[in-house]
């Protein structure tokens, strides 16, 4: 006989924020790759730059202490 214990787990209120932040970072990194390979798309470049600025100001990372555009650039 197999017993399955079903109990409540503590709700992590920050988990949705972390998942959304992870998706935003993936979007930003993909966008930077697109910018390098398709540099004629100025409106897209402006949007990705704004996203990078917003990520840099995110309190979920470290506020404004790090310019997140710089750490991601060597990966591109």
Closest by CA position to 24, among listed 1, 47, 4, 3: 47
Task: Give the position of tokens 């506020």.
Answer: 63
Going from N- to C-terminal start, the domains of the chain cover: 15-75
pLDDT at 44: 92
For 30-47, what is each residue's pLDDT tens digit?
999 998 888 888 999 999
Q: Is the pTM of this model over 0.85?
A: no
> What residues have CB less than 8 Å from 67, skipping those under 6 apart?
56
For 49-74, what is each residue's pLDDT tens digit?
999 998 888 877 765 565 656 655 55
């Amino acid at each position: 006989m197999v017993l399955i214990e079903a109990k409540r787990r503590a709700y992590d209120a920050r988990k949705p924020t972390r998942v959304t932040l992870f998706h935003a970072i993936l979007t930003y990194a993909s966008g930077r790759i697109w910018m390098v390979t398709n540099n004629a798309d100025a409106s897209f470049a402006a949007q990705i730059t704004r996203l990078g600025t917003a990520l840099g100001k995110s309190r979920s990372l470290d506020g404004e202490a790090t310019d997140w555009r710089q750490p991601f650039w060597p990966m591109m």
